[in-house]
């Protein structure tokens, strides 16, 4: 369970990025965090992961996100970065996937078994020993997701998981996201993907929660979306 | 592919070379590391006029190239930028040391020329040995070996991260160079007036990316301790390689093989 209680944050005093944001995500929920550029989506993610600290309270399974709890918190959360190149820093997919399990004190055998299981589940076994700089963008995105799943996190956070992917790879990533059993929090401008993968949507605007409700309702509300510099998902737009 | 992308590609190729399989690749990283250190120390210890005595030490890298299956041209291609710099070290010796040292027919060769050639050869040999170590040993194994040799954790982590992060900086440089040339058609290189802002931007962008990479490491449980790939155990074969190679280097250091061979033919 993820809970934001009146969280505010600003990089500069005069320009707050988040203003008293509150929401609660139950275990197993798939939530899309949407909003125009600068609405504060990435800041929400960074606050959640303890990469930034603001005012108010953020709780993960009842544990407050603060310096002394970061190890415990980060063990529960897996974060897929927008730019997979920034996530994959080891020479091969295998070594990258081993990185987190080894840091969490698994033996090499246990870690390898976990890596193999994740690769098999995602159908990526042939990528195991491939070099990160030799795989395509789509493969890299899937490998980045695999590195996170190898941590066996309780919740998966994703920042623009389908950006810069071709339609085929986008569909592969969407199907993978749908198959994940963990709690999911996904930020994206790809509203079609959000509609496909999330049950609930939180709309951020001007640093506040402008709407929070079922994806089917919010993503069909043309007036609401347009009022916050967004558009209906393409699949819901009727051709003129 | 622009120059920077090529550089990035080449960096990746080093990892691939190190991941190959050969009797040299199979050796324990510590044995290879120590053998390389002994080789370099031996090469450097030769006196400045001992050009002929140094030549037999070429046999070692040649042997390693053969056994490891690493093409020699790859070595010289990858070292093409640093080789001229190393070779330029002794360039001024002929001007300072003009005393004739030997006579080649009618030509008197000065001590400066011999010491310049010796320095050049030393540079080439050391670079080749370092290249062979890197090309036959994954960086993780090398770092794990350094830790086993009690090199401070901070230094080893810095080495590993520098190796990984060079790619990040090069990637940023590639993007910036492309963006520059698209708006400065026909211009060779970066104009001097843009150097300051170019470097400043490069630094800022690299720092941003490095920060994101570091965040990604922290979020996956990194806590100032790298779990290096398991190092192959030090076997009798590794011991034999280390002792054998060190003995050979010392032999070549104290016995002038070239002179010995020469004395067989010339009295």
Count the neighbouring beta carbons within 10 Å of the beta carbon of residue A109: 8
Q: Which residues of chain B have pLDDT under 70?
A: 1-2, 4, 267
Enter the ipTM: 0.84
User: Comparing C-alpha atoms, which of A18, A15, A16, A32 is closest to residue A7?
Assistant: A18
Beta bridge mates, A30 = A184
User: Comparing C-alpha atoms, which of B51, B197, B174, B193 is closest to residue B124?
Assistant: B51
Indicate the average pLDDT of chain A. 93
Domain ranges of chain B: 1-141+233-267, 152-228
Model confidence pLDDT, tens digit, residues A39-48: 999 999 999 9
Is A151 in Cβ contact with B171 (below 8 Å)? no
Is A131 in Cβ contact with B15 (below 8 Å)? yes
B 52-111 residues inside an 8 A Cβ radius of A: none
Percent of chain A's residues with pLDDT above 70: 99
Give the pLDDT score at B241: 96
Give the pLDDT score at B14: 85
Model confidence pLDDT, tens digit, residues A155-200: 999 999 999 899 999 999 999 999 999 999 999 999 999 999 999 9
- Cβ partners under 8 Å of residue B38, min gap 6: B245, B246, B249
A 116-155 residues inside an 8 A Cβ radius of B: 131, 133-134, 147-148, 151
Give the pLDDT score at B267: 64
**How many residues belong to chain B?**
267
Give the pLDDT score at A35: 95
B 143-182 residues inside an 8 A Cβ radius of A: 164, 167, 171
Model confidence pLDDT, tens digit, residues A55-107: 999 999 999 999 999 989 999 999 999 888 888 888 789 989 999 999 988 99
């Amino acid at each position: 369970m993820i809970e934001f209680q009146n969280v505010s944050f600003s990089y500069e005093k005069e320009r707050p990025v988040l203003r008293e944001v509150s929401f609660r995500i139950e275990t197993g929920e798939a939530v899309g965090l949407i909003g125009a550029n600068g609405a504060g989506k990435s800041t929400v993610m960074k606050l959640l992961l303890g990469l930034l600290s603001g005012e108010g309270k953020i709780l993960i399974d009842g544990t407050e996100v603060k310096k002394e709890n970061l190890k415990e918190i980060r063990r529960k959360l897996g974060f897929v970065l927008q730019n997979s190149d920034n996530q994959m820093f080891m020479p091969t997919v295998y070594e990258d996937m081993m990185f987190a399990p080894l840091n969490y004190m698994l033996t090499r055998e246990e870690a390898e078994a976990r890596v193999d299981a994740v690769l098999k589940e995602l159908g990526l076994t042939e990528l195991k020993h491939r070099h990160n700089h030799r795989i395509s963008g789509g493969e890299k995105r899937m490998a980045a997701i695999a590195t996170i799943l190898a941590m066996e996190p309780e919740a998966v956070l994703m920042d623009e998981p389908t950006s810069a992917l071709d339609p085929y790879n986008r569909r592969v990533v969407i199907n993978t996201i749908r198959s994940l059993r963990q709690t999911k929090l996904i930020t994206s401008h790809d509203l079609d993907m959000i509609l496909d993968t999330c049950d609930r949507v939180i709309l951020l605007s001007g640093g506040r929660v402008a709407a929070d409700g079922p994806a089917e309702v919010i993503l069909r509300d043309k007036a609401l979306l347009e009022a916050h510099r967004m558009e209906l998902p393409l699949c819901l737009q009727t051709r003129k | 592919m622009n120059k920077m992308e090529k550089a990035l590609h080449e960096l990746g190729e080093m990892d691939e070379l190190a991941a190959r399989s050969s009797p040299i690749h199979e050796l324990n990283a510590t044995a290879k590391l120590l053998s390389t250190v002994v080789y370099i120390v031996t090469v450097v210890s030769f006196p400045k006029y001992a050009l002929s005595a140094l030549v037999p030490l070429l046999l070692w890298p040649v042997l390693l190239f053969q056994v490891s299956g690493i093409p020699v041209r790859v070595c010289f291609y990858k070292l093409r930028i640093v080789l001229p710099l190393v070779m330029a070290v002794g360039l001024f010796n002929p001007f300072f040391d003009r005393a004739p040292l030997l006579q080649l027919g009618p030509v008197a060769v000065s001590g400066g020329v011999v010491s310049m050639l010796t320095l050049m050869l030393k540079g080439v040999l050391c670079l080749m040995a370092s290249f062979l170590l890197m090309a036959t040993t994954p960086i993780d194994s090398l770092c794990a070996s350094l830790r086993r040799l009690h090199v401070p954790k901070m230094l080893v982590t810095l080495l590993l991260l520098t190796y990984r992060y060079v790619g990040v900086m090069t990637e940023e440089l590639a993007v910036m160079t492309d963006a520059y040339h698209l708006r400065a058609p026909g211009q060779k290189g970066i104009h001097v007036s843009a150097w300051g802002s170019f470097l400043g931007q490069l630094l800022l962008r690299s720092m941003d990316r490095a920060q994101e990479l570091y965040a990604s490491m922290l979020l996956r449980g990194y806590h100032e301790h790298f779990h290096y790939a398991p190092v192959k155990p030090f076997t009798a074969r590794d011991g034999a390689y280390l002792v054998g190679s060190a003995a050979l280097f010392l032999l070549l250091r104290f016995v002038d093989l070239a002179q010995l061979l020469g004395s067989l033919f010339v009295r």
